[in-house]
Amino acid sequence: MTKRIHLALAVLAACAAPVALAQPGRTPDCADPLSQAEINMCARADYEAADKEMDSVLEQVIAQYRQQDRDYADLGPEYVGAEMLLAASQKSWATSRSDFCGARGLTNYGGSMRPAVVSACFAMLARSRTEELRWLLE
């Protein structure tokens, strides 16, 4: 468990490092980044946007399941628990994403493009999870 936490922290630190390398006062043009540091910053911004969207949809599903649990509570305990199961699922998913993208990032260990690779992986999986969560709203 501690090893996993250290790996996750290393991945996040690698993603944050490029911010310090970018040109001061310059906002990168993500349509045409000029350096690897800017590519890394843009990949991180993309990941953060994908995560924000996923969190928004997740909150909608949580609200729906919370209400569903209230509505079904009178039917018995076997009819409630959707919110709790969703929370457990999301926690497992987040751990899996960190491990999966951490493993992917090891392909570029020590390289300047590693943060972009990891961030792109995080963004891709966040978008996929967002679609899964949207399916729960149907």
What are the average pLDDT values for consecutive 10-residue runs of the chain, which has 138 residues? 52 49 70 93 97 98 97 92 97 98 94 96 98 95
Report the alpha-carbon distance of residue 131 to residue 138 in Å, rounded.
11
Three-state DSSP state, 33:
coil
Pick from 52, 17, 72: nearest CA to 130:
52
The pLDDT assigned to 24 comes to: 59
Report the alpha-carbon distance of residue 28 to residue 30 in Å, rounded.
6
Find the CATH number of the domain harbouring 65.
Answer: 1.20.1270.180
Average pLDDT, the chain: 87
The pLDDT assigned to 25 comes to: 65
Please state, as a whole number, how many other Cβ atoms lie within 10 Å of the Cβ of residue 92: 10
Number of domains in the chain: 1
Range of the domain at 115: 2-23+31-137
Contact yes or no for 30/116 (Cβ under 8 A): no
